Each structure stands twice: as C-alpha cells, then as structure tokens.
Structure 1
Amino acid sequence: MTTQFSAVDIDLTLNRYPAKQASNLQAWDAADEHLLKHLVEHKLADVRTAIINDSFGALSTALLKYQPSRAITIETDAKTSQLGTLHNFECNGINATGVQWCNSRELLPASTQLVLMKLPKNLNYFAHQLDRLSQTLPQGTQVLIGAKAKSINKSLLAVIAKHLGQASASLAWKKTRVISCISDGVKRPLPSESRWTVPEYQLTLSNLSNVFAANKLDIGARIMLENMPAGDFKSVIDLGCGNGVLGLRAKQRYPDAQIHFVDDSEMAIASAQQNWQLNGHKIDDACDDSVSFNWDDCLTHLDAKIIPDLVLCNPPFHQGEAITDHIAWQMFLDAYHRLDNGGILHVVGNRHLAYHVKLKRIFHNCTTVAANGKFVILQAQKRANTAPMTDNTVPSH
C-alpha cells in the first residue's frame, strides 16, 4: 500500500482504514490533489471550511498541515472515514482539538464560508447533500467539488444548479476536474426518505439517501430472507445492516432474541432504528438491552457484553469507488471472535466472490445453504478449541 503523499509542497503519511488491510489501494486520489492545488493556486482565504466526503482524511490532514489555524468542519456518513481521518491526524502530528464533526443528516455550522467536497458514488445522496448545503450556505458561498473527469458532464452540472447554484468545471488535470459552484442562497426542501413494503413478510421499510437499495428489496437480501437459519437464537447481530431488514426478519423468527444492528453508515443506522419502530417495536430506554443500533467499523467497538449465537451478514465488496474484499474479511474475522461457541455466521454473497474460501480459513468449516444463478448463502459455525487460520490481519485474497 502506498502511504507517502506529496502535493503542493505538503508531505504526509496517509493510511486507509483499517491500516492493517493488505491491498494496493491508497488513502487518496488525484481529485484530492487537484482540490489542494486549486486551493493553493487561487490563494483562497483562511476561512471556516467544511470538508465533505473525505474518505480517509487526506484533504483534512493536508489542509491542517498547510494552514494549522484554519477552522474546519468534517462531514461524513462513514465511521471508517472518521476513524481513518483521526488516525491520519495522529500519524502526521495534526492537532484536531478544534475540528468539528457532523454526520450526513446534520446541517453544517452557519458560519461556514467555504466547502471542499468529493463527488460521492451515489448521486441521489449527492443531491441530498446539496439540498442540505442550500439550507445553510448564504448566497455567494463557494463550493469546490473534486471528481474524476469522466464523471463530470452537463447532466451533473445541471443537478448542482438545481440543488445549490450554478456550476462550472475546470480544465482536466491528472484525469480529474474541480467543479466550482456558487451558492444561490435559495433554501431547497430536504428530500423525504423512500418507503415501501415487503408484503410477504409484513414489513414496511424506509431508506435515507445513502442506504443501499434505496427503494426496493435487493435480491441478495431476498434470498437471505427466504433462507433464515432454524434455531432458538438468543442474541443476533445484523452486521452491515443497511435498512435493517434482516434484523427485523430475525425478530419475527426469533422473538425472544436480542437484535443488534451494526453498519459503517450513520444513515443506515438511522434507517434501521426508524424501521424498527415503524414495524411496531419499541425502544424503551438506554437500559433496554433487547435491541441496539451501532454506528461502527464492523464490530470494533461493540459492547463486550454482546456475545451472539447468530450473525447475519450481507457484506459489501466495495469501499467508496474501490472494489475490495477486505471488508468481508474483517466482518468474518470479527464475527468469529464475537460468536459464542457453537454460534453461526450466516452469509449471503455473489457466487464469484468465493466467500467459502475465506470462511474455511477462519472457521475451518463452511456449508452451502442455498444458491441461485447469482447468489449463494453460506454458513460457518464457531467450534470450541479452534483458531482461525487467518487472524489479526485482513488479507486481500
């Protein structure tokens, strides 16, 4: 993994998160460099700056290295982004005590005078972010958006104009462009979450804009719902829960079980919590241990008292724009270490991802439960007196 960053006379050591992943991916891209280059060349004033969609803190770290006095607010939906940014601050001696944090459902401080932003993969989420910016930014505020040149077209510029203000793109540099937008000061209404039903399971679901499968049940979740494991489970984790549909079905199948929802996306956790209540379940108080909602990097910070006998998992195979299997590795390893002896990890994935190889290396066993032309459901059981063949590392293959 390349970790040495150098741009506009700023030299840093930057890691992806978690740093232990074995991959050739780096923690920044040319769009980060282009935004910094634009900032320096145009001598933009040292004003309160919001940084949005900064995957692992490359922009935030570089900006504070270049101008330590700059007041910044960092907005992110991903816990791994927050943790990665904090790690890179520490590695580069950045004093982060003055940094403000907000999630992607909160409005930026009214004092924001400049916005630096990376274009996210999900354009519905991008439009939602622009609408939220319109709620806060006064007329004339500059918003700079870094992206691959191939992602920028008239349609994208029209979306920005519709949701925030007129925009134009710079010349290409290292196959990237910087979009300059000036807020028009018009407040747009915030979009409502999408809502639909899954009648065969008597479920109603809603999704916020950055939650996977925004307005329908994805086919991986569907085959998982059709093949839930039999058993009298008492503690169930929906790992990578998205809108929480697997955890909700688990509560139907195992009514006495504690259900724990975990996801890297704060919007996913908010959607899961809303769907829990939407489907007739209560969240009584802080002492209620029958359900929990955890914005986390896999199971890194989950309460140590939670020892599941079932983990349900529909792993992502990308992180932002990068295709990677390290998240699945970490999910499987975390599940192994958390499960009670005899506990089960129940996984759905695309057939070509060969998750059975990973599960056998970790659990020493793997059973195919169901399969169709695209997906396979696999089950691995934690057995006493065994240790994973892969431990404390996240190999790429």
Structure 2
Amino acid sequence: MTTQLSVSGIELELFRYPSRQESNLQAWDAADEHLIKHLVDTEQAPTNTLIVNDNFGALTAGLLSINPDWPLTLETDAKTSLLGTTQNLSRNQLSADSLTWVNSRDELPQGIQLVLMKLPKNLNYFSHQLKRLSQVLPAGTQVFIGAKAKSINKSLLETISRNLGAASASLTWKKTRVITCITDGKPRALPTTIDWSVPEFNLKISNLSNVFAANKLDIGARIMLDNMPKGEFKSIVDLGCGNGILGLHAKQCFPDAYIHFIDDSEMAVTSAKANWALNKLDNPELVGQQATFAWDDCLTNMNEGFRPDLILCNPPFHQGEAITDHIAWQMFLDAFRRLKNGGILHVVGNRHLAYHVKLKRIFKNCTTVESNGKFVILQAQKISKKAQELEQSSATSAPHPQSALYGAAKR
C-alpha cells in the first residue's frame, strides 16, 4: 500500500482510517492530486475555503502544506472522514487550529470564497450538496470538483448547472478531470426526505439523501427481516444501521430490548432516529431511554462496559468508490470484542463475499441461518476461550463412531 503522496512539490504521508485496517487501498486518489495541482498551477491565494467530501484529509493536508494558516471549513457526512483527516494532519505535523467542521446538515458559514469538492458515489446526495451550496454562495464563486474522467458526462454537467451554476470540465490528467462551476447566486430549495413503507412489518421509513437504499427496501435487508435470530435479547446493536430498519424490527420482535443504532453516516443516524420516533416503538412498560443513536466508526468509541447480547449487521462492501471488505472485517472484530460471552452476531451478506471464512477465523464458529441465490445469513456466537478449549478437548477425547473403521482402512 502506497502512503506517500507527492504532487506539485507537496509531500505527505497519508493513511486510511483506521490506519491499522487490513486494506491495500491508499488514502487518496488521482482526483485529489489533480485538485491540489490545479490550485498550485493557478497560484491560488489562501482564501476562506470550503472542502467537501475529503475522504481522509488529502485536500485539507495539501492546502495546509501550501499555507498553514489557510482558513478552511470541512464538510463531511462520514465519521471516518473526520477521524481520518484528524489522524493525517497529526501525522504530518499540521495544525487543525484554522479548521471548522460541519456535517451534511449543519448550517454552512457565510463568507465562503472558494469550494473544493470530490464527486461522491451517490449522485442524489451530490445534488443535495449542490443545492445546499446554492443557499450560501454568492454569484461568481468558484467551485472546483474533482472526479474520475469516466464519471464526468453531459448529464453530470447539466446537474451542476441546474443546481448551482454553469460548469465545464478540464482536460484529462491521470484519468481525472476538474470541473469548474461558477455559481449563479440563485438559492435552491433543499430536497425533502424520501418516505416509503413496509406494510408487512407495519413500518414507515423516512430517509435523507445519503442513506443506503434510500427509496425502497433492499433485498439484503429483506431476507434479514424474514429471518431474525431466536432467543431472549435485552441489548441489541444495529451496526451500520442505515435508516434503522433492522433495529426497528428487532424492537418489534424483542419489545423488552434496548436498541443501539450506529453508523458512519450522520444522515443515516439522523434517519434512524426519525424512524424510531415515526414508528412509536417505545415500550410503555419500560422506564427511560430505549434507543440510542451514535455517529461513529463501528464500535470504536463505545463505553468499555458496553456488552450487547445481539448485534445485527448488514455490512457495506464499498467505501466511496472503493470496493473493499475491510469495513466488514472491522465490524466483525468490534462485534467479537464488545459482545458479552454467549452473545450473537447475526450477519447478512452477498454469498460471493464469503463472510463465513472471516467469522470462523474470529469467532471459531459460524452457522448458516438462511440463504438464497444471492444472499446468506450467518450467525456467530462469542464463546469464551476457556469454553472453546473445553469444547475442543471434549471433541478430541470422545471416540468417533467411525474411528475403528478409519484406523483399519488407514492401515
């Protein structure tokens, strides 16, 4: 894995977040380099700048390398982006004192004079971001958007022009292009939430624009809803909750349980919280808070004493444009560390991802609960090391009913 970014005289050491993850993916791409190169080539002076969708801080670190006092506001919907940027600034001895952080729903500051942006994978979210920018940027503001050349077409440029201002694309460099948009100063209304229902489970769902499966029930969640685990569970985590549908149905199945919704996307966590209230799932027989909502990197920052007895998980296998299984790895490892002894991890995934191999390696056990042509539901139970040793000892000491025959055949 390459960790050294070198472009236009700028040298940085950058890691994805968390830096210990098992991944051969680097923390930036050529579109980051192209944007930095563009600013250096045009001799852009430090000005009040907004950076949007800076995955792990390459753009932020690049600008602060040019001028450590460059005034920056960073907008992100991903907690790993915030944590990764902070990590990489520290690694490169760059101060975060001039930074202001906002998430995708916070009010943007006035006085922004320049915007640097990476094109997100979710184009509905991209349109939302453009409309959001239109509400605060005066006419004539320059917005530079970096993207792979193959992602830039007439339709994309029309989307930018319709939602923010006239746009044109540069020549290709390292298979990327920089789109320049000059804002027209006309504010656009933000999109409303996407609302739909799952009548067979008596659930209503409301999604913000950057939530996975924003306008319908995805088929992975469908098979999971039809095959919830059996048992008595009091503390349940919906890990990578998205709109929260798995946790909502878990509360229907286990009304005495407390549900914890966790996602890397702030919009996802906000949607899950809204859906909890929308479906009125609090059990009147229980006292106090029955659901918590955390914008976090998996289970990294949960209280050390937190010990759920069930974790539901539909892991993503994309991070931005990158296809990767490291997020699933981290989710499974975090689940093993956090589950109480005897607790269960209940996972759905595409069959070709072979999650059973990972789960057996971590938990030393894995059971197939259900499968169809595309998806499989797997279950792993956390068993203490002592219990595992006793189980293995029992298995090796007890004579196999075919052992004599096997021995004879072997001889």
Q: TM-score of the superposition, structure 1-length normalised?
A: 0.95
Instruction: Report the Cα offset of residue 98 of structure 1.
Output: 2.1
Instruction: Report the Cα offset of residue 106 of structure 1.
Output: 1.9
1:72 aligns with 72
- CA displacement, residues 218-265 of structure 1 (integer Å, 9 cap, x when unaligned): 000000000001111000000000000000000000001010000000
Instruction: Report the Cα offset of residue 387 of structure 1.
Output: 10
What is the identity, as a one-letter code, of the residue corresponding to 2:211? V
Instruction: Report the Cα offset of residue 289 of structure 1.
Output: 4.1
Q: How does 1:8-87 map to 2 (within 5 A)?
A: 8-87=8-87
User: Does 2:132 align with 1:145?
Assistant: no
Greater radius of gyration (CA): 2
After the TM superposition, which segments of 4 or more aligned residues of structure 1 sit over 4 Å from their partners? none
2:307 aligns with 307
User: Does 2:18 align with 1:4?
Assistant: no
- The separation in 2 between residues aligned to 1:124 and 1:321, in whole angstroms, is 15
CA contact (8 A) 1:132 1:190 kept: yes
What is the identity, as a one-letter code, of the residue corresponding to 1:235? S
1:271 aligns with 271
- The separation in 2 between residues aligned to 1:282 and 1:95, in whole angstroms, is 45
**2:12 is paired with a residue of what secondary structure?**
strand
- The separation in 2 between residues aligned to 1:107 and 1:260, in whole angstroms, is 27
What is the identity, as a one-letter code, of the residue corresponding to 1:29? D
**How big is the alpha-carbon RMSD for the aligned residues of Structure 1 and Structure 2?**
1.5
1:395 aligns with none
**2:135 is paired with a residue of what secondary structure?**
helix
2:230 aligns with 230
1:353 aligns with 353
- The separation in 2 between residues aligned to 1:337 and 1:352, in whole angstroms, is 26
Report the count of equivalent residues: 386
- The separation in 1 between residues aligned to 2:362 and 2:373, in whole angstroms, is 26
User: Does 2:291 align with 1:329?
Assistant: no
- The separation in 1 between residues aligned to 2:85 and 2:169, in whole angstroms, is 27
The 1:386/1:122 distance shift into structure 2, 3 A limit, reads farther
- The separation in 2 between residues aligned to 1:194 and 1:371, in whole angstroms, is 30
- The separation in 1 between residues aligned to 2:258 and 2:301, in whole angstroms, is 18
What is the identity, as a one-letter code, of the residue corresponding to 2:372? N
**2:51 is paired with a residue of what secondary structure?**
strand
User: Does 2:103 align with 1:103?
Assistant: yes
**1:166 is paired with a residue of what secondary structure?**
strand
What is the identity, as a one-letter code, of the residue corresponding to 2:125? Y
- The separation in 1 between residues aligned to 2:201 and 2:305, in whole angstroms, is 31
Instruction: Report the Cα offset of residue 136 of structure 1.
Output: 0.7
Instruction: Report the Cα offset of residue 305 of structure 1.
Output: 3.4
1:385 aligns with 385
Question: What residue ranges of structure 1 are gaps of 5+ in the alignment?
Answer: 389-397
What is the identity, as a one-letter code, of the residue corresponding to 1:358? K
- CA displacement, residues 153-201 of structure 1 (integer Å, 9 cap, x when unaligned): 1100000001000000001111110000011000000000100000000
CA contact (8 A) 2:346 2:380 kept: yes
Q: How does 1:105-124 map to 2 (within 5 A)?
A: 105-124=105-124
CA contact (8 A) 2:143 2:180 kept: yes
What is the identity, as a one-letter code, of the residue corresponding to 1:45? A
Instruction: Report the Cα offset of residue 21 of structure 1.
Output: 1.7
2:164 aligns with 164
**1:73 is paired with a residue of what secondary structure?**
strand
- The separation in 2 between residues aligned to 1:384 and 1:142, in whole angstroms, is 58
What is the identity, as a one-letter code, of the residue corresponding to 1:269? V
2:406 aligns with none
Instruction: Report the Cα offset of residue 333 of structure 1.
Output: 0.5
- The separation in 2 between residues aligned to 1:168 and 1:75, in whole angstroms, is 23
- The separation in 2 between residues aligned to 1:257 and 1:370, in whole angstroms, is 24
2:405 aligns with none
- The separation in 2 between residues aligned to 1:276 and 1:313, in whole angstroms, is 18
Instruction: Report the Cα offset of residue 302 of structure 1.
Output: 1.4
CA contact (8 A) 1:247 1:259 kept: yes
Instruction: Report the Cα offset of residue 55 of structure 1.
Output: 0.5
The 1:93/1:219 distance shift into structure 2, 3 A limit, reads same
CA contact (8 A) 1:300 1:334 kept: yes
Q: How does 1:174-213 map to 2 (within 5 A)?
A: 174-213=174-213
Instruction: Report the Cα offset of residue 202 of structure 1.
Output: 0.3
**1:185 is paired with a residue of what secondary structure?**
coil
- CA displacement, residues 59-78 of structure 1 (integer Å, 9 cap, x when unaligned): 00111011111100000000
2:154 aligns with 154
Q: TM-score of the superposition, structure 2-length normalised?
A: 0.92
What is the identity, as a one-letter code, of the residue corresponding to 1:58? A
- The separation in 2 between residues aligned to 1:315 and 1:249, in whole angstroms, is 18
- The separation in 1 between residues aligned to 2:33 and 2:387, in whole angstroms, is 43
CA contact (8 A) 2:256 2:283 kept: no
What is the identity, as a one-letter code, of the residue corresponding to 1:344? I
CA contact (8 A) 2:261 2:292 kept: yes
Question: What residue ranges of structure 2 are gaps of 5+ in the alignment?
Answer: 389-411
What is the identity, as a one-letter code, of the residue corresponding to 1:326? H
2:340 aligns with 340
CA contact (8 A) 2:147 2:176 kept: yes
2:400 aligns with none
- The separation in 2 between residues aligned to 1:53 and 1:283, in whole angstroms, is 39
- The separation in 2 between residues aligned to 1:158 and 1:106, in whole angstroms, is 26
Instruction: Report the Cα offset of residue 304 of structure 1.
Output: 2.8
CA contact (8 A) 2:70 2:98 kept: no
CA contact (8 A) 1:50 1:108 kept: no
1:393 aligns with none
What is the identity, as a one-letter code, of the residue corresponding to 2:20? K
Instruction: Report the Cα offset of residue 386 of structure 1.
Output: 5.7
